[in-house]
Amino acid sequence: MAGWTTLVQADVLSMALGRSDLVIVDCRFSLLDPNQGEQAWLRGRIPGAVYAHLERDLSDISQFGHGRHPWPSEKLFLERLRRWGVTPTSQVIVYDDNDGAIAARLWFMLRVMGHEKVAVLDGGWTAWTSLGLPVSTAPSPPGASFISGSFDASRLLDANGVAARLAVDDLLLDARAAARFRGDEEPLDRVAGHVPGAVNRPYALNLENGRFKSPVRLAAEYRELLQGRDPSEVVMMCGSGVTACHNLLAMERAGLKGAKLFTGSWSGWIADPTRPVATGD
pLDDT tens for 187-233 read 999 999 999 999 999 999 999 999 999 999 999 999 999 999 999 99
Q: Could you tell me if 205 and 196 are in contact, meaning their C-beta atoms sit under 8 angstroms apart? A: no
Fold classification of 7-130 is: Oxidized Rhodanese; domain 1 (3.40.250)
Does residue 240 register a pLDDT over 50?
Answer: yes
- pLDDT value for 275: 96
- Please indicate, yes or no, whether the overall pTM of this predicted structure exceeds 0.75: yes
Spell out the residues 6+ positions from residue 273 whose beta carbon is closer than 8 angstroms to its own: none
Q: Of the candidates 42, 113, 111, which has an alpha carbon nearest to the alpha carbon of residue 79?
A: 113
Q: Which residue is catalytic, options 238, 242, 245, 271?
A: 238
Q: What is the pLDDT of residues 111-149, one digit of tens each?
A: 999 999 999 999 999 999 999 999 999 988 766 677 788
Please, which pLDDT band fits residue 1 given cuts at 50, 70 and 90? very low
Predicted local confidence at residue 143, as pLDDT: 67
User: Under CATH, which number does the domain 153-269 receive?
Assistant: 3.40.250.10
pLDDT of residue 144: 65
Task: Calculate mean pLDDT across residues 42-58.
Answer: 97
- The answer, yes or no, to whether residue 242 has pLDDT greater than 70, is yes
3-state secondary structure of 215: helix
Residues 6+ apart with CB under 8 A from 207: 99, 100, 213
Mean pLDDT, the chain, whole residue set: 95
CA 261/CA 18 separation, integer angstroms: 34
245 belongs to the catalytic site: no
* CB within 8 Å of 242: residues ≥ 6 apart: 54, 69, 101, 102, 105
At 256 the pLDDT is 98
Domains 7-130 and 153-269 alike in fold: yes
**Residues 203, 177: Cα–Cα separation, whole Å:** 8
How is the chain split into domains, by residue range?
A: 7-130, 153-269
